[in-house]
A and B are shown apart, each in its own frame.
Chain A
Amino acid sequence: MENGRKRRILQSKVMIGRLGLSRAAVRGFASAEPAKFTVQPAIERAPTDLLKALSETVGTDPTAPHFAFIDDPATIPSTASAKRTYFMAKELGKRAARELAAEWPTLFAFDRDQPRLPVFRPENLPDPLQIEPTEKNLLRMIESREVEDCCLLYERMRSENIDVSQKTQLELFKLVAYYNSSNIPFAEWVEWVGMRNFGQNDKAEWKAAGVADLLFETIPRNDETVSIMIAALSKFGENSKAKALFKEHTEAGGKVHIEAYNGLIANSDFKSALDILKDLKTIKPNVSTFSALLESASRIGKFEDRINAFTRIIGEMQALKIEPTLTTYYYILKNIIDSKTQKLLNEAKNDESEKKYHNQIVVSISWLSEILDKIENKQLEVSSNNCNVFFAEAMGVAYRGANLEISQRLLKIYESSNNNVKMPAFTTESLFYNRYLQLFIEQSTSIEQIYQKYKDFVPRLVGVSNSLSGSVYRKLSKEAHWPLLRRVIQDGISAGQMTTAMGEEMRKQLIEVQYHTLSVNERDEFNQLVQKLVSTWIEFSKFTEEYAKRLQRKLSPSQISECALLLTRIGEYQKAFELLELLLDEEASHGEESTVLAHGYARPHVMSALFEDSLRRKDSYAAALCLQIMSLHSNRNKLEPLANRIFEKCSLTESQQKIIQSFIRLRPQ
């Protein structure tokens, strides 16, 4: 076969030589065998394979804003609270539109969709007081989990003597017992993500003599219904009632399900929990049982006993070959450090409490290290609704233990492809990354690495906050890094830090910048930033109109002196001294339209720097202005040498010298 092919190629080459290319082509086509096409079988792919491949190649850009926000510099939020506000605003807008469409569906009848899509046809929920009181309607409501509506309809059916079958009653009982006859909590809202993540329910108490109690009395008692009732009572804090019911049922020879045991265990103290556990003879405990047991063990006051209990529980799980989940680890890490010790330490530091706290941190770090050993390289799946909090809690432990290595391991596990447990953005995830970034900033020695990390995380994953900016500024005080400083200040501007205490920190950091060490481009950036900051502060001080008064932030004398110094650094001498003149202007600090605070004083070291700068430029007016400002809070002895320096450096006329001398003489000694 191979030889035949070679021969044919050779023949064709010879032919091309003899006949020319075009003729050879014609002859070749005429004599060739019909070409055989084989269609390759299609590679079988799942519907999302292509998307997965794309996402692996493209990845997420951590520096871009979250997709939920309007991608425009003016509308991208940078603080955690702004993210929450904007997200909720958008969601509430959507809800308003949905309400409209549900109320007036005929106005939205641009019906060109084939097939009809019910998702674009929102409907109002049926009113339980208007709807026909049938079992079918009740079941439909149960299915849509409208708990309070179900209760209303059921009560209406009872008052109208309409029979409800046992089966429906059981279904209703399951629903109302689980949700305590109230609507489902925000955490279970499916459609509205913002409400799910940001909404907070008050801790509910069991509704005594409610529909659940009524149904429990109506339907026949068996293991299932009693178990449901016990679990529900335990869930809503009716521990004594749950225990009494459990006792009553078991004494009558009944057996309750594992969920009821879990509820009872979680609410009991550790000793009683162990007693309940001993009753589990025929039923095998599950992971939730051990989570409940850990919850009960967390109430043990003494640290050593608590650790012993945790060890015993984990040992028992190993003996029963039950794999601990992230929820299990979450309960351990959450309760390992004594909240009391921490509180004591915060209130009054003493050696004993410090030692105790340190010991607890060491133990918790070693537990965390072992947990990480176990979950590294393992496929992590969602096991309960709070298992994702494990990561945030573990990062909290690493942060308190100031252990960067552990935190990096944890981050790697969280971001690996083996992990399918993701924290909700803006809430828990933001907390997780915030703790990591704070720890990294505090522990890392390389300012360049801090800059890179900061750029990666802020503001997308971590919101700008005073504590975060503060820790970066502390690092920058030790080692200068212009790009990082510029970035932190710019983030601070968009986070509204300019008018808070952080504004002072910004000025302090900018004054400390060694201007001559910056490159040409960096100097440009510095100039622009200073101009922007100073003009914004001045603008804030000028909101003197009645309607804008609440926005006004008056300039303080120290702020004016610092701004003036910054302006002189960038060569804006005229602006700087115009600003300084405000300090001597009575009208600027008094009256309805004042823009300067009446109290406070210009910073002495800033004023002396400005004074020196004026002397260097031999600017007698500027030097005299500085002297006049310094005279507000200095006595004659301090001012005299300064006046003499003006006479030395600047060429003054005799009358000018006399004016300054008499001015100094009039100052108090």
Chain B
Amino acid sequence: MLRTPGISACRQISTTSCAMKNKAGKHKSTVNRTQLLTYEMAQKPHHIGVRKSWLTWHSQNLEEFRQSQPVVVAQDEIIRRFIRGFFPQNVVISGNELVIKRRGNVCIVAGFLQYSRRLDIRRIYWMFGFAEEFLSILLKQPVKLELAFVETEDDVAYNYI
């Protein structure tokens, strides 16, 4: 009933073979080079093991501090979502560039925040205290924030493509 006249049913099924192209870790460039890349984002997939390995040094392979991998993944997701939701005006690159470090039983959240329009330092301290304690209670382990401030998102730019 709703068939478009002139298009046969077989044309709705794609029969071409897929390109199997690896797109992970690759950023699409823009015509006027406005896509911001941080240092981490600018690394090509084949450089990850060499240039970004320091982001994954942790103590999860030590006997006393080992947690099961799904827990770590869940924790990461909780932390990222919380930081994104709690500092919505301050996160840079939509909060995708947070680094979560695990040292002993401590979980350290590192990265950059921007001032947004104005920097109310007292408010920031309150929020840091709240976020640290909230996440500590939630994850049942000490969580520390090591977030540094930049004036605008442009300050974390390594390259524009």
Q: Which residues of A contact B (CB under 8 A)?
A: 70-72, 74-75, 77, 85-87, 89-98, 100-101, 108, 110-113, 117, 120-122
Contact = CB atoms under 8 A, between A and B. Distances in A.
Contact of A97 (B78, B115, B137): B137
B137 A85 contact: no
Contacts of A121: 137
Interface in B71-112: 71, 74, 78
6 contacts: A70-B147, A85-B122, A90-B128, A93-B128, A110-B138, A110-B140
Given A75-B121, A85-B122, A93-B128, A112 B133 contact: no
Nearest to A97: B133
Given A92-B129, A94-B132, A96-B130, A117 B124 contact: no
Interface string B120-161: 011111111111111011111100011111000000000000
Chain B at the A interface: SS class: helix
A257 to B, nearest CB: 43
Nearest to A70: B128
Contacts of A98: 133, 137
Nearest to B124: A75
Contacts of A111: 140
Q: Which 8 A-B pairs have the closest CB atoms?
A: A93-B129, A90-B129, A97-B133, A93-B130, A113-B140, A89-B125, A94-B133, A93-B126
Contact of B137 (A74, A75, A101, A112): A101
B56 to A, nearest CB: 21
Interface of B: 67, 71, 74, 78, 115, 119, 121-134, 136-141, 145-149
Nearest to A109: B138
A108 B137 contact: yes
B148 A110 contact: no
B141 A89 contact: no
B128 A112 contact: no
Given A86-B122, A86-B125, A112-B71, A120 B140 contact: yes
A108 B82 CA distance: 13
A331 to B, nearest CB: 38
B146 A71 contact: yes
Nearest to B134: A97
Contacts of A87: 125
Which of B115, B119, B134 neighbours the largest number of chain A CB atoms within 10 Å of its CB?
B134
A72 B67 CA distance: 32
Given A72-B149, A75-B149, A112-B67, A93 B125 contact: yes
A96 B134 CA distance: 9
Contacts of B124: 70, 75
Nearest to B125: A89
Given A93-B129, A110-B78, A120-B137, 18 more contacts: A72-B148, A72-B149, A74-B115, A74-B149, A75-B121, A75-B125, A87-B125, A89-B126, A89-B129, A90-B126, A91-B129, A93-B126, A97-B132, A98-B133, A111-B140, A112-B67, A112-B71, A113-B140
